[in-house]
Structure 1
């Protein structure tokens, strides 16, 4: 992916999620609260599902929201 090779994105799943720089520790910890384990142990970020869709479609909200 061109964008991931062009700059460092500390919130993306994969190798960049292991970033240990001090200035990103809070961001990393917060981001990992809202993930599920994907293939090969890669963390997949979750976003909240809008309440309207949860109610109208009978969905369950993503974990952590």
Structure 2
């Protein structure tokens, strides 16, 4: 299991890009932290989520 924003989910084996797509996030509008380290956007398609990982996904909201 993988903890995503505080919830246990079955996401092991997927890329970060795949997880974002499944959850409805736009990759260009989020920051992702994996196990305490920021993942560069360019690596979203390359980094595979492993069992026991902790992901924090933070979306950016515009406004004024």
TM-score exceeds 0.5: no
Q: Which has the larger radius of gyration?
A: 1
Counting helix residues as a fraction of each chain, which structure ranks higher?
1
Counting strand residues as a fraction of each chain, which structure ranks higher?
2
Which category of TM-score, normalised to the shorter sequence, fits these structures? under 0.3
Q: TM-score, normalised by structure 1?
A: 0.22
User: Comparing both chains, which one has the higher relative contact order based on Cα–Cα distances under 8 Å and sequence gaps of 6 or more?
Assistant: 2
